[in-house]
Amino acid sequence: MALTPQDIGRIAHLARLELSPAESERMLTQLNGFFGIVEKMRAVDTGGIAPLPHPVAAIQDVHLRLRDDVASEPDQREANQQSAPAVERGLFLVPRVIE
Counting contacts by CB under 8 A, is residue 79 touching other proteins?
A: yes
Counting contacts by CB under 8 A, is residue 71 touching other proteins?
A: no
Dist. CA 71–CA 42, nearest whole Å: 45
Dist. CA 81–CA 14, nearest whole Å: 27
Amino acid sitting at position 51: P
Count the site residues for other proteins by CB under 8 A: 54
Residue of the chain from 61, 69, 71, 76 that contacts other proteins (CB under 8 A): 76
Q: What string of DSSP letters covers 63-96?
A: ------SS--S---HHHHHTT-SSEETTEE----
The contact pattern for other proteins, residues 20-59, with x = CB under 8 A and - = no contact, is ---x---x--xx-xx--xx-xxx-x-x--xxxxxxxx-xx
Which residues of the chain form contacts with other proteins (CB under 8 A)? 3, 7-8, 11-12, 14-19, 23, 27, 30-31, 33-34, 37-38, 40-42, 44, 46, 49-56, 58-59, 62, 64-67, 72, 76, 79-86, 92, 94-97
